[in-house]
A and B are shown apart, each in its own frame.
Chain A
Amino acid sequence: MTTGLALTVEGLTVNYGGVSAVRDLSFEVPGGEAVGVIGANGAGKTSTLKAVMGLVPRRSGRLRLGDVDLGGVSARNMVRHGIGYVPEGRHVFTGLPVEKNLLLGAYARKWDSSTKATLSEVYDLFPVLGEMRHRLAGALSGGQQQMLAIGRALMSQPRLLLLDEPSMGLSPKLVEDILAVLLRLRSEGLTLLLVEQNAKLTFEATSSCLVVENGAVAMTGTSAELRNDPRVRQIYLGL
């Protein structure tokens, strides 16, 4: 895997039907680091990620990956600038076989021997996908689909990986597996931006976190600080 690039977001605002979902959000993900975004449903986590990806229009805000300004880049070209995206709810191509899903992840690249190499790297990371390469993605279990979604994003050889709730609907055991994958990607130097409602996973996978409320940053800190913060506990357990 290639080394990660830093993502800088300044003054990001997103509107949904006249209502602002994200307001003037600024943060930075240093190259090769993992940053988490946690918060309640409807707080604007997914909107933030989609706006970075260009899947929802940004009303204002500047966006930089490394030294490249991403302001005018359309959603489908983000991948060509090195952003891999793992959508909330997995969104694999259910009617296509696993391997086709992965190859489509490399759609923006030429399908050649280097694609093959990346494919075997992904199978190495997720052996189960290799075993099921000819199975339809729709026939996979939730956890396997999540692996597939991550694998698909990795196929583009991203410099930054955006993950939207990879733990959604997974059992604790599978969440552990996801965590292991994230830690491994991080150790290989990929930059990660992880949006989660599972605080435990987030704190363990990342070095620092933002807590968002109502589309704005309510708290920031290192993951170690935040995991013992009473306010964070209040949000998650209502204590």
Chain B
Amino acid sequence: MQVFLQTIVGGVSLGAVYALVALGFSLVYRTMGLVNFAHGNVVTVGAYLASTFYLSTKLPFALAMIIAIVVTGAIGLVIERVLRPLENKDFDLMLIGTIGFGIVLDALIIMIWGATGRAVPSPVPTAPIDIFGLRIRTYDLVVLAIAALATVLLVLFLSRTKRGTAMQAVAMDHEAATAVGIHVGRSNATAFMIGAGLAALAGGLVGPLLYVSPALGGALGIKGFAAAILGGFGSIPGAILGGLAIGILDSFTAGHFQGYSELVTFLVFTVIIMVRPTGIFGERTVNRA
């Protein structure tokens, strides 16, 4: 039982990061019907930016993170603007276009920061706290708190603000949204920007948990995507739950299958998707088959 709980605890903080990545995927999908395959690479950019400002310019961790979020948000705007002609037209082409962006970002990352990675020291004391015999790292709690805060802010933005409501409306019916006076393109750009910002947040947070390298985003991106689908693509609670589920699944497979954890994770994921293509909170997604 102890081991079991410890495994869950171990998976939760990484799960929270997956959840943030999944939120970005879901938000963009929800508003634009687009899967951003470059999302993972944006995470890497965010991780590098945050760690660079934190390590070399000695900015406080929080400030470094904010700068990273702003810069990646701008990258999100660029991606949306370039792919805008394909919006609401060819789904698969747009998907491939974002893969192209991913390749470009990947190359830029290596050009700017080099192919080798870096370790980021934890910004809070490293000694784990002991709660009922479970050892929890302080930083894990920080990650959880920030992820929860980001989720709450996002939900508030979407449900309480005029712009947030309009963004949801665009996702549901872009023609009706146009008719009530909403600028669909601008709304999509906002979605993309926020999505990229969430990616940077995830990247910045994961820095002290994992090793920051050009390969970071690939792994986080695909797991975050899997999390989004698992929870029900486009659903915000789904993204959170999916993220945590994948995090815990990861933790379990790492414990039981060591090197083969990735293999097992993806096999389990594939089976779940085949049994329930709409995910946990899936509304019936648009069937474009």
Contacts and interface: CB of A to CB of B under 8 A. Distances in A.
A143 interface: no
A80 B181 contact: yes
B182 interface: yes
B172 A94 contact: yes
Interface residues of B, number: 18
B102 to A, nearest CB: 30
B238 to A, nearest CB: 13
A190 interface: no
Contacts of A108: 180-181
A188 B175 CA distance: 28
Contact of A96 (B172, B179, B181, B182): B172
Interface stretch (A21-29, A99-107, A117-125): A99-107
A57 B181 CA distance: 17
A90 B6 CA distance: 52
B169 A87 contact: no
A105 B182 CA distance: 10
A79 B183 CA distance: 12
Interface stretch (B146-154, B160-168, B225-233, B244-252): B160-168
Given A107-B166, A111-B162, A53 B179 contact: yes
B104 interface: no
Contact of B175 (A78, A87, A94, A95): A87
Contacts of A152: 180
B182 A76 contact: yes
B98 to A, nearest CB: 25
B65 to A, nearest CB: 32
Interface string A65-109: 000000000011111100001010001111110001001110110
B179 A79 contact: yes
A85 B178 CA distance: 10
Contacts of B166: 104, 107
Interface string B176-197: 1111111110000000000000
Contact of B181 (A55, A76, A100): A76
Interface of B: 162, 165-166, 168-169, 172-173, 175-184, 283
Interface of A: 53, 55, 75-80, 85, 87, 91-96, 100, 103-105, 107-108, 111, 152-153, 156
